[in-house]
Structures are given as structure tokens and as C-alpha cells.
Chain A
């Protein structure tokens, strides 16, 4: 009987303990959530008036828990504002010791605390945190590295561009995070990026060209146009897309040539780019591709024709050999 009593007692204790934990968490957790929601509702207006008021209001005197929620709100707004409002957020965080507090947390032993601090420093717009964040691109936790990288982007840390690129090349931060950070740093990163367009690693070249397309201006097109003949297909795809984004009319001939690339993805990207650049020569080259049965390039070509010359795509769709893509594109134009 002993083992039954033991098992039964153990289960009874464990189940009772769980019920108690659930009851406590249900009571405390709901109370905390409601309290937090109430504070957010109450402090939202003072926070907005401090950040974006005309004239900006002084921050209200706050109790400790209110100050925490107020800082949360400021961090959230910081992602959406630039210029004066952001500077006021930075000034508030510096004046109230929030930046120092997060810098201390950045050295915590717990990875989640470091990651949260790295993330928050970006939200606070704390420029003086840049060296510490660059250092944490080598953190042992992937989440801390990603958060540091994201915040360097938020802070527009041009001087951190090489470090971010190094971290990406060494696969220490996810590609999407590094690229977005570089995008956030903005056009100032383009000059550094262009120097890497000849990197021996195809994925680096592709990422660089993609970012130049997103960040650069028409003048930067010439620096990447040669990559349309890169031996690596992902680089050719990225180049075609980038040239389209930059509206590089001088690349039209090369893009038309790329419509015959052996890789469908390159043909698709070239068609999309030509749709943006437009021109009679482009449309003439796109129409035959739109009539083919190779799905992605044909769809991209039909949509590109529709963008460049909507009336033409409607006429072309009436031909017996128009194919499904031109008909779909014409249908969408008609809508």
C-alpha cells in the first residue's frame, strides 16, 4: 500500500500546488495587466505632449511604476518619430538616468536582460551607447547580437557600418536584421557598401547590391550595373531589382539582355525592373516573355507591361496567343 499512498500523496500535493499557482497568477497577473493598461491610458497623453506637443510639455512627476510605463511609452514612440521629438525622448532618458540603467543591464549575466537592454538603448536613441552596442555584436547570445545590431540601425550609427557588415559576413547576426539596420542607418551607409560590391562572397555582393538599390540614388546605379553579369545568380537577381528601384534608364539595354538569362529568377527580376523603367524598347522585349509559359518570368513580364503601358496590355490580351499572364494582367487593369 505504501507506494500507492506515496504516489497518490505526491499527485495530490502537485495538483494542489498547481491550482494554487494558477489562482495566484490569475489574481496577480490580471491585476497587473489591468494596472498596466490603466497606466498606459493615463500616461499616453502626457507622453505625447512631452514628445510632440506644441510647445512640448514638461514631463509630469511620476511614481516609480509610472516612470517605468512612461519610459515604455517613450521607447515605443521613439520608433515612430525623428528630429526634435526624438531628441526630447533622448534628453528625458538621459536626464532620468534611464540610459545609464540600460547600459548597466547590457552587462548583465542573463542573456534576455542584455538583449532587452540592447533593444531599449536603440529605442531611447542613446548615441553614446554605440560603442557598447558594437561590442555586443560579438555577444555570446544570438539574441543580444541581433538586438544590438537592430539598435545600431535605429541610432543611425554610420561608424558602425563596417562592424555590422562584419557581423553579417561572419553569420553572427541574421541577414534580415543586418540589412534592416543598414537600411535604417540610411544613405550614409551607401559609400561603405559600394566598396564591398566586389567582395569574393556572392551572398555579400548580393546583399550589398540589394541595399544600394534600397538606399542609393540614381547616381549609384553605375556602381552596381556591372553586377548584372556577375557569375552568381543571386547577385544578378539583386542587381536587376536594385536597378529597377533606382530607375536606372541607362541600364535598360542590359536589363533587356537579362530577360534572356538562363536563370528564371534573373529574368523575373529584370522584367520587374523594366516595368518600372518603362520605354518602348522595354515593352517590346517584355511582350514575348509575357506570352511564354514559364510562370514567374511570364507573370512578371505581363505585370511589367501593364505598369508601363496599361492600354497595350489590354490590347495584347485579346490576341489568341496572349497566354494566361497577359489575360490576367489585362483583367487586373480592367478592375
Chain B
């Protein structure tokens, strides 16, 4: 055997160990997630959401919605947010230099009037062009500002938020009616301990949406989107629930997360130099609080759901995953001091090494290992026994983990009630190991290349809009008719990506 062959065989063995370790960790997370889900199902019967809703002590929440060219989805999204079941909340939409009429769509739908709104000077942002208040909903604020990126838009929203907690939502996302209350409940119960919580992101493609609300949960018709349904289930219901149980949640998704506003301002708001701002902020909160030895928790709550539109083309999905890979690296590099550092507890010793080895480096071991092993087998260097064993571990265990996620979904949440759809999820759990995972690792590899080439920015994103029978997009319907069909969230309601860690939780 030549030196090269020996090296490749060693590499294949290393990849085998990598797969075993990765799947073993994921199995542990799955067991923890199963325990948590079982407890949560019981807890629902004595959660006390009604009490939290009517309590005058329940703190207000500012819902922050950064939007860049979201005209296709912004109106139903804001409508859904305004009618959330929460006693005191405001909605702040920040149009980050949109050029597609996002602000005009909002102005028409919500009767906006240009009004000065005072802003804190704690976080620097790109110039604000104008602020608008709604004549119909006095808890709606719209900010029109120069383009500065998602983080910059969020910082602008933080500067005018009036409530002690902020909930960050993507503009292409829809919250279930009581999602805000559910994601806030742990914070209401332990405000001195909980500094942030995140909820589950679910795939909205295929669902029937009516007036900004998911009224019928369906699987997408697009196959790529179906794969992502499964991916999100695994990432959120298995991975994040498990990490949260270990008090080592490394990321709260930018699409649906609740934060203590003064703390976020204290740590400097969102970092504008990254495309993984949610991951970075979560790490920064851990770092800030651990360095000061302050008791705290960052928790994941699986039941509240945020429905979001996922990419349906390979190109768009590839761009998203490459961006996540860059974001993961930027966050980890900035907080490299935490890595393997016992001072940062389970986050430094478990979560961050996991992100580095099993998320960021997965193209090296998972993809490279598979290719090299197949090549060595084809050349007759490796035995059939070893090759079959490698495939069993790399793909068979992956199927097991995906099926486990579907099982947790069925026992804990059961959002998909059609048996045919559950059967499809099972089918996709089996087939996704043959090609999709590998393709995903190719995109991650391309993300690494982007990093080496110094690529920055988010790249183009396309919005298809929610599938709905009669979505009142301004211009598409007579405005008077549109208004008459509104569910009218109470005007006096108050004073005022997803990062499903592809294949696992995180970073990106």
C-alpha cells in the first residue's frame, strides 16, 4: 500500500469515527429532546397562559421585523403580528432601504402617516429617512432607513423599541396566534433568570394562509421544500431542544427569538459585520453573562411556531446555506476564546466544539470521507464489509435520527394531521440521506470557499409570497374591499434563517 493509499485509508477511518461520534451526540440530543417533549406535553395542561394573558404584570414586548424588499409578504406578515394574542405588544417594521415598494405597501394597508419617533442613541445605524405611525393600529411603527443590512435594521428597531423585551421575526414569517405568549412564558415565570428564548421555525410553503394566519397546515408540493420540512423538524425538535436541556443553546434563530432588550443593548446590539447575526448574538450573550458569573438561562421552547417561506430552488437554497456557513464561521471566530474554555461551561466545552467539528467542518469529514471511502472501495483498497459498514453508519443512522424527529413531532405537536403527509415525511426521511445531505455538504464547502474569497453580504433573495386564496396585497384588491376583510386586530391592543442547523442545529 502506497503512502497516499495509507493516508486515504486513515482519512476514511477518521471519517468513520466522525460519523459515529456525530450520530452518537445526536442520539443523546434526541433522547434529551424526547424527555423534554414528554414533560412539555404534560406541562401544557397547567401552563397558565390565560393567567399570563390577563395579568397586568405581564411585560410588554416589541416585535421587531427587519424587511428588505419584502413587498410580496410584508402585509400579511404584519397583519398576523398585529393580531397576536398578547396583552401588550408593538410591531416595529424596519424597511432597510427596500426598493420594491415595501413601505408603500405598508402605508396603503395600514394607513401610515409620517410622524417623528424618538430613538435612543445607544446603537449606531444607517440614516433613518422617515418614521411612520398607523392611524388604525397605534402599536405599529414603520421605519424607512438607508440600507445597512439585517443587523443594522434590527439595531434601528432596538433604538425605538419601548418594551423591555424584543421579539425578532423575519418579514417572511407568520407567527401562530399564541406563539408570542408561549415563547415569552418561561421569561414571565423566571424574569431574573431567562434572558432569551427561541421558538420553532416551521415551513410555510404549501400551507394555506388567510389574512396573515396559517389556517391549514400542509406539506409543500415542492420536493426541496419537503426536505427542508424534515430538516427543520430535526434541527429544532431534536437538536435545539436537546441543547437547551443541557443549558448550552448556541443559537436562537433570527426568525423567531425573544430577548431582554436592555441586555442586548448593553452587549452592543447586533453585530453588523456578519451574516450570522443571530448565532453571534447568542454567543455574545453567553460570553457576556459567563464572564460576569451571572446566573442566566437561554432556552428553547418547542411548541410556539413561526411559519416561514423556505427556498424552493437549488440556487436559492445553495445561497442560503453558503451564507449560513459563513455566518457560523464569523460567529465562532469572533468568540474563539470561548472554544474549549471551561469558564464558558457547556457552551464553551460542548456546543461550540460541536458547531466547529460537526457543523462547520462537516464537508471535510462527512463529504470528503464518503467520497474517499467510495473511491477506495472502487479501487479495491477497502473491503466490502468496511464499505457497507461505513454506509450503514453514515446514512442508516441519519435515517434513524430523521425518523426520531418525525416521531417527536407526532407525539408532541402533530401539526401535520393527514396520514399521507406523515407517510411522505417518513419517505423523505429515508431518501434524504441519499443525495440531499451530501449536496448540503457541498454547499457548505462552497461557503468555506466564499470565506476564503472574502465574500460578504446576503446575496439576492426571492420571495414568492404565501399561498392564500385571497391575500389582500395592496394593489391586487380594491383597498376598501381589503379593509372590510381585515380581521381587525384591536386598535387598542397596546401603547405602543431559521437556522435549522442543517443536518443539526446550528451555526448556520
Interface residues of A (CB under 8 A from B): 1, 3-4, 7-8, 11-12, 14-15, 18-19, 21-23, 25-27, 29-30, 33, 79, 112, 115-116, 118-120, 143, 146-147, 150, 174-177, 179-180, 183, 210, 214, 293, 295, 298-299, 302, 323-325, 327-328, 331-332, 334-335
Contacts and interface: CB of A to CB of B under 8 A. Distances in A.
B3 interface: no
Contact of B419 (A30, A115, A295): A30
B410 A29 contact: yes
Contacts of B423: 23, 26
A7 B393 contact: yes
Interface string B121-138: 100000000000101001
A8 B407 contact: no
B463 interface: no
Contacts of A22: 403, 406-407, 410, 422, 426
Nearest to B410: A25
Contact of B414 (A15, A30, A146, A323): A30
Interface in B395-409: 396-397, 399-400, 403-404, 406-407
B43 A112 contact: yes
Interface string B15-35: 000000000000000000000
A335 B137 CA distance: 10
A25 B48 contact: no
A116 B403 contact: no
A275 to B, nearest CB: 12
Contacts of A30: 414, 417, 419
Contacts of A299: 118, 162
A147 B48 CA distance: 8
Contacts of B138: 332, 335
A328 B118 contact: yes
Interface residues of B, number: 53
Contacts of A183: 55-57
B400 A18 contact: yes
A179 B191 CA distance: 13
Contacts of B422: 22-23, 26
B55 A176 contact: yes
B400 A14 contact: yes
22 contacts: A3-B389, A4-B385, A7-B389, A8-B389, A11-B400, A15-B399, A15-B403, A22-B407, A22-B422, A26-B419, A79-B51, A112-B43, A150-B48, A150-B51, A176-B55, A176-B57, A210-B57, A298-B118, A328-B115, A328-B117, A332-B133, A335-B138
A176 B133 contact: no
A26 B403 CA distance: 13
Main secondary structure on B side of the interface with A: helix
5 residue pairs, one from A and one from B, having the closest CB atoms? A331-B115, A119-B46, A324-B118, A112-B42, A11-B396
A176 B189 CA distance: 6
A116 B333 CA distance: 46
Contacts of B411: 25, 29
A4 B389 contact: yes
Contacts of B388: 4, 8
A18 B403 contact: yes
Contacts of A327: 116, 118
Contact of B407 (A21, A179, A298): A21
Nearest to B119: A324
A11 B120 CA distance: 57
Interface in B36-82: 39, 42-43, 45-46, 48, 50-52, 55-58
A274 to B, nearest CB: 17
Contacts of B162: 299
Given A112-B39, A118-B46, A15 B400 contact: yes
Contacts of A23: 422-423, 426
Nearest to B387: A4
B361 interface: no
A174 B57 contact: no
B7 interface: no
B188 interface: yes
B418 to A, nearest CB: 8
Most buried by B among A19, A26, A116: A26
Interface string B174-196: 00000000000000111110000
A245 to B, nearest CB: 9
B407 A25 contact: yes
Nearest to B417: A30
A115 B392 CA distance: 44
A18 B30 CA distance: 13
A64 to B, nearest CB: 19
Contacts of B385: 1, 4
B42 A324 contact: no
B37 to A, nearest CB: 12
Contacts of A112: 39, 42-43
B477 interface: no
A325 B118 contact: yes
Contacts of A21: 407
B14 interface: no
B55 A180 contact: yes
Contacts of A335: 113, 115, 133, 135, 138
B70 to A, nearest CB: 25
A30 B50 CA distance: 26
A214 B56 CA distance: 8
Given A19-B403, A116-B42, A335-B138, A8 B51 contact: no
A147 B44 CA distance: 12
B392 A8 contact: yes
